[in-house]
Amino acid sequence: MKISIVGAGIGGLTLALALHRAGLSKDLRLFEAAPEFKPLGVGINLMPHAVNALTGLGLLDNLRAVAVEPRQIGYYTHHGQLIHNEPVGRSAGYHVPHFSIHRADLHKLLLDAVHARIGPDAVVMDRTCTGFDENEQGVDLTFDDSQGNSLVERNDVVIACDGIHSAIRRQLYPGEGPPRFQGINMWRGVTRMEPYLGGDTVVRVGALFRTGKLAIYPIRNDIDADGRQLVNWVAETADDHAAPIDWSAPGKLEDFYDLFENWTFEWLDCAKMLRDADTVLSYPMVDRDPIDRWVFGRVALLGDAAHPMHPRGGNGGAQSILDAIELARCLADSPDIPSALQAYQEARLATVNALVLRNRSEPPDVIIEKVEERTSGQRFSRIEDVMSVSEIDELINGYKRAARYDMKTVSG
């Protein structure tokens, strides 16, 4: 079976490793538009569902070597008042960790594994897919390279892992407009700093539309002799104009700092963390409306090409990893390619489409929105008077079940 994967991001590389594990990598290649890999973006959280899948691909030690393993997550108001704190990963009883990791470290470990297991030529760089033609002989993919050459590649099966700007999705859905912007921009950066809250805490502070919001977590330990950490942060602010949809688009501190300049809490001086950042990048909060088909004969969409979602639940990358595992399993189980791809779509589409919508309306940090709304942005005396334990539990655990990282699903 000749398999081509378009796009060597998180989804494409994981798919290649899953196909290799299933014994389907003999005639497999990935085609990547970028002429070379550069470290892009900043941090990413991998919850137990994603880590469980990567552990199955033999990558647990590789992850542990570069990532931070958080023990807990805390939700705070913009006054720095704790609303809810809970253990994560192994501290919460999962058999696998939760990891917070630099996106470049994750990408490198996946790429290194593809090179080591499938071969140094498995990823063909500088191939921008421009479209495909599905015919009786198979699927012909067309590519441009940076020298102005056009190339055609014939395949038995093509998996589009080419992200939110997917060229293959564009051909399948020609009337679809640009990604959907909901009036929120994200300013993202990393700061070298002393560990806060024990050095193992993921934090969400503030309500997006009322006060601005910060998501903060460490992504590298012991970066110098003083034991400092590299800490990732994302500042989310309401905005009429979307930032460019580009992982490496630069941002400026002055574009968002005034919302956060008084966020100096006893457990973390957020304002100083923002001022001390190494780099600031920008990215808009965008997704696309769910579609009811990812599979067209011998062509399938996977990851952000199929279901780009708001990152408020930290799940887009994880879902592309779960897609990859499922797709490889289906291809290994059925000799008939179109049926195998249909089985993949049946296993994944409804769940992930529902998650795309839930990320718009009820991501886990909706608890902060609700508390800020009920207190009109004032300090509270007792959180129980504002939100009950069972309401918090239902909102957070409901999200985990929807995203498939509740304990029962991950251990089952």
Ligand X SMILES: Cc1cc2nc3c(=O)[nH]c(=O)nc-3n(C[C@H](O)[C@H](O)[C@H](O)COP(=O)(O)OP(=O)(O)OC[C@H]3O[C@@H](n4cnc5c(N)ncnc54)[C@H](O)[C@@H]3O)c2cc1C
What residue ranges bind ligand X (CB under 6 A)?
A: 6-12, 31-34, 44-45, 127-129, 161-163, 165, 167, 186, 188, 234, 283, 303-305, 311, 314-318, 320
Cβ 348 to ligand X shortest distance, Å = 13
Task: Report in angstroms how near the CB of residue 370 gets to ligand X at its nearest.
Answer: 22
Nearer Cβ to ligand X, position 259 or 387? 259
Between 294 and 375, CB nearer to ligand X: 294
Q: Please provide the DSSP assignment of 73-114 as one string.
A: EEEE-TT--EEEEEE-GGGGT-SS--EEEEHHHHHHHHHHHH
Instruction: Classify 262 as helix, strand or coil.
Output: coil
In the complex, least distance from residue 305 CB atom to ligand X, rounded to whole angstroms = 6
Choose between 45 and 375: whose C-beta lies nearer to ligand X.
45
Q: Is residue 14 exposed (0-12), middle (13-18) or buried (19+ Cβ within 10 Å)?
A: buried
CB of 261 to ligand X, least distance (A): 22
How far apart CA 69 and CA 51 sit, in angstroms, is 11
The H or E element containing residue 300 is strand 299-301
Question: Residue 238: beta bridge partners?
Answer: 184
Per the CB < 8 A criterion, the answer to whether 123 and 108 are in contact is no
- Give the shortest CB-381-to-ligand X separation in angstroms: 33
Q: 70: exposed, middle or buried (C-beta count within 10 Å: 0-12, 13-18, 19+)?
A: buried
Least distance between ligand X and beta carbon 263 (Å): 19
| Amino acid code (one letter) for 190 | V
Q: Which is nearer to ligand X, 288 or 375 (CB)?
A: 288
What is the Cα 250 distance to its own chain's centre?
19
Pairing mode of beta strands 213-220, 82-87: unpaired
Distance, in Å, from the CA atom of 128 to the CA atom of 302, rounded to the nearest integer, reads 17
Residue with the shortest CB distance to ligand X: 9
Match 């389907």 to its residue by tokens: 24
**DSSP-derived pairing of the beta strands 28-31 and 3-6:** parallel
> Residues with Cβ < 8 Å from 138, sequence gap 6 or more?
2, 154, 155, 156, 298
Among residues 2 and 165, whose Cβ is nearest to ligand X?
A: 165
Shortest Å distance, C-beta 162 to ligand X? 4
Give the nearer residue to ligand X in terms of CB position, either 230 or 387: 230
Residue type, 293: R
Nearest distance from C-beta of residue 233 to ligand X, angstroms: 11
How close are the terminal C-alpha atoms of the chain, in Å?
Answer: 31
Nearer to ligand X, 138 or 316 (CB): 316
For residues 160 and 338, is the Cβ–Cβ distance under 8 A? no
Nearer to ligand X by Cβ, of 306 and 387: the residue is: 306
Q: Would you say 31 or 294 has its CB closer to ligand X?
A: 31
Q: How far is the CB of 306 from ligand X (least distance, A)?
A: 8
Closest residue by Cα to residue 232 from 411, 125, 97, 106: 106
For ligand X, give the closer residue by CB, 9 or 206: 9
The least distance separating ligand X from the CB of residue 377, rounded to whole angstroms, comes to 25
